[in-house]
Amino acid sequence: MDFQIIYAKNAMHLGDCIYSLIFLYNIHDYLKKNNIKIYFYCINENYYQIADFNTLDNVKIFTINNLPNNEMIFDLWIGSSDYDYNWYNAIVEPTIAYDKFFCKYYNNILTKMNIPVKIEKFIYKDNDLITRCRTINLLTNNYYDKIDFLINNAQPCSDQFEYDLNEFNNFITKLSNKFIVVTTQKVNNIKCTRDFNLTAKDIAAISINIKNFIAIESGVFAGLYNEYLVDKSDRIIFNLSKYNYHFCSFKNFYYKKNLSELKFLI
């Protein structure tokens, strides 16, 4: 059977590419029903993580050096100048939440793709998270089970947080005296996702059994936009950014400008 191919790319950082995948998760039912395939291209250093994250039958992942020359390419990076509306002109709207921006931005791209779908809430559903979480627990002897806090403390790539390594390490060390903590960048002998080389998708998977999160708005944070966490009353996500327009409308996401605003935890 013949199928239509839509070409898309995101040549930016890991978190940017995961947001692009969340967009594709939201339209996948339409893609399957209408026999449309998305060929998505990312930079080489993100290929493994993005290919690992993707479980969509109609979305294929390629490295950007294989990008076709004679096809229309939709740039899914939120700062793309290909579109009149993007992240850089959206931030003049101080009341628009981060997740609401994603909906507005990607709905605009859907119009340009001639796909009659409207994204109302920027989250994704992926049953692979449950299976993967069980597998990780089995392979690691429950190393990531019964965690109180998951902390994304990796240095951001887009200057979205005033990152002080010593301050972060000290905060995490004090927090670990009261709670069971796992980080995304190693701090002393505290548990870390790198202890077992977890991918971004793996981190999203173990998150479904964790109640509390402290995360810089970057990289693996994007994987937390899943149905198991968003708007769940028993989960709390503190998202860290120096920019107040990185707040989310989700009921259990709390914007914090710096670690000083979280001292009450320690």
pLDDT value for 172: 97
Enter the DSSP assignment of 127.
T
pLDDT value for 157: 65
Note the pLDDT tens digit of each residue in 84-94.
999 888 877 66
> May I ask the CATH class of domain 128-265?
alpha beta
Note the pLDDT tens digit of each residue in 210-250.
999 998 877 788 999 999 999 999 999 998 887 776 789 99
SS3 at position 58: coil
Note the pLDDT tens digit of each residue in 161-204.
777 889 999 999 999 999 999 999 999 999 999 999 999 999 99
Note the pLDDT tens digit of each residue in 64-73.
999 999 999 9
- Give bridge partners of residue 66 from the DSSP assignment: none
The span from the CA of 139 to the CA of 256, in Å, is: 35
pTM: 0.93
Note the pLDDT tens digit of each residue in 106-120.
999 999 999 999 999
pLDDT value for 163: 79
The span from the CA of 6 to the CA of 28, in Å, is: 13
The span from the CA of 211 to the CA of 93, in Å, is: 31
